[in-house]
Amino acid sequence: MHKNNAQTLLIVEDDIGLQTQLKWHFSDYNVVVAANLEDAIVAIRLHEPQVMVQDLGLPPDPDGVSEGFALLQQALQINPYMKLIVMTGNDCNDHALKAVSLGAYDFYSKPVNPATLELIVQRAFHMHQLESKNRAFQLCQSSNLEGLITGDDRMLKVCKLIEKVAPTNAACLLLGESGTGKEVLAKSLHTLSPRTEKPFVAINCAALPENLFESELFGYEKGAFTGAVKSTAGKFELADGGTVFLDEIGEMPLQLQAKLLRFLQEKVIERVGGRKLIYLDTRIVCATNRNLEEMMASGDFREDLYYRIAEIQIDIPPLRERSSDKVLLARYLLKKYAQKENLKIIGFTEEAISAIEEYSWPGNIRELSNKVTRAAIMCEQKYINAEDLGLKAVDSSPLNLKVVRDSAEIHALKTTLSATGNNVSAAAKLLGITRPTLYDLIKKHNINVND
């Protein structure tokens, strides 16, 4: 077996002879050794091992306290996902069972048989890998909509509305700032509908020249204008039976608004230069970041069209109002890009997480994706900091629930759980409270946590 530097094994043993023997036997892994509690804690923080083999019978500290159990508890507080295997003497089964009750993955009785211990270690690495994949899968399943990652209550309500409306033929209007994910939601409306096997055609109304609008949408006949050498179907025809997504509908010229209204009312179009009525079964989903009510008041948008395209209106909150999503999305985007480019970046520093939370993100998810991608390229360490993101560093002190009013508890809990990847132990440590207290608060505010 070739050495796998991605698999780090920490061996904590004060017997130098046995320590050397184990290090030699497990040379196929990236082996780190420690002889006492202090060195082991440093190694856990520095090397982040997936598996740790620990002698439970470490000598007591100067105060006479057993270092074995103290190390076990501190190790799992720092890295609760690490698989910890304890080694005990033959007459110490009670200690071994206590260790397992405190969170140890498995135990092994001395004298050491390296071959047997190796099987336990291999199984521990395999279990760690399976659990990591499961956590990654849960992260990607924050909502039931493909491509949408959220844990925010308002966005989850949007998701439920999308799921409810998708099977119908209702015309939907998505309202939200640029970069909030309107096209992702439009695709979800199509994917979750009976039209999913038919085409989904996206049209950016702001990108089309006014003189090409009609021919692009409705097609044209041969000879309709100079250069029309053959009859060509428009976007609406291409999407027959499927869905047309009209992004930035507020940029559509008034003349075309009248023709779109006719289609919505009668489900027929005429190609440019043609006289034949073409009947289509095409669903329309529109989106805009403009205020259509103000445009109607100024005469720039038809009121009758507005009521046709907004049978169901869906308001998408900007990223700055989805505080629990900022770090969740940043982690997801970083992991996705790092895997694609085979980068060795692990995550964000606490300083970077605080900066992500404090920044207002005027460009929303599109801006977040841009900054995370740039930071991943520029970062030379294992963790991305605020400077890599191009953000101003802010005080990264953890939130303390003892000094926060009840109205701020939900925000504090969601922010910290998101920053720690829903790791309850780490979140409790950052918040300065015990795990039972944190669980009580989670239950009190009905917050869903997938450990």
Are 4 and 28 in contact, with CB atoms under 8 Å apart? yes
Radius of gyration of the chain (CA): 29
Tokens 């300083």 label which residue?
351
Residues 313 and 328 in one domain: no
Give the three-state DSSP class for 5. Answer: strand
Residues 56 and 162 in one domain: no
Are 263 and 286 in contact, with CB atoms under 8 Å apart? no
Domain membership flag for residue 374? yes
pLDDT of residue 404: 40
Residues 290 and 163 in one domain: yes
Tokens 């948008």 label which residue?
301
pLDDT of residue 273: 87
How far apart are alpha carbons 190 and 328 in whole angstroms? 26
**Angle, to 10 degrees, between the axis of helix 114-140 and the axis of helix 323-341?**
120
Domain membership flag for residue 39? yes
Domain membership flag for residue 148? no
Residues 312 and 328 in one domain: no
**pTM for the whole structure:** 0.58
Residues 216 and 104 in one domain: no
For the chain, the helix, strand and coil percentages under 3-state DSSP, each to the nearest 5: 50, 15, 35
Domain membership flag for residue 396? no
Q: Which domain holds residue 207?
A: 153-317
Are 322 and 155 in contact, with CB atoms under 8 Å apart? yes
Residues 342 and 375 in one domain: yes
Domain membership flag for residue 145? no
pLDDT of residue 272: 87
Distances (CA, A) of 448 to 146, 331, 343, 443: 20, 19, 31, 9
Spatial CA neighbour of 173 closest among 259, 245, 264, 258 = 245
pLDDT of residue 440: 82
Q: How many domains does the chain have?
A: 4
Are 385 and 345 in contact, with CB atoms under 8 Å apart? no
Q: Are strands 278-279 and 268-269 parallel, antiparallel or unpaired?
A: antiparallel
Are 223 and 274 in contact, with CB atoms under 8 Å apart? no
Domain membership flag for residue 184? yes
Residues 65 and 107 in one domain: yes
CATH of the domain at 286: 3.40.50.300
Residues 259 and 310 in one domain: yes
Residues 181 and 302 in one domain: yes
How far apart are alpha carbons 119 and 374 in whole angstroms? 42
Are 9 and 85 in contact, with CB atoms under 8 Å apart? no
Residues 118 and 58 in one domain: yes
Residues 161 and 292 in one domain: yes
pLDDT of residue 195: 94
CATH of the domain at 71: 3.40.50.2300
Q: Which residues of the chain have pLDDT under 50?
A: 1-2, 139-142, 396-404, 451
| Cβ contacts of 24 within 8 Å, gap of 6 or more | none
Q: Are strands 200-204 and 172-175 parallel, antiparallel or unpaired?
A: unpaired
Tokens 């926060």 label which residue?
404
| Cβ contacts of 213 within 8 Å, gap of 6 or more | 205, 252, 253, 256
Q: What is the dihedral of CA 416, 100, 60, 117, to 10 degrees?
A: -110
- Name the β-bridge partners of 220: 232, 272
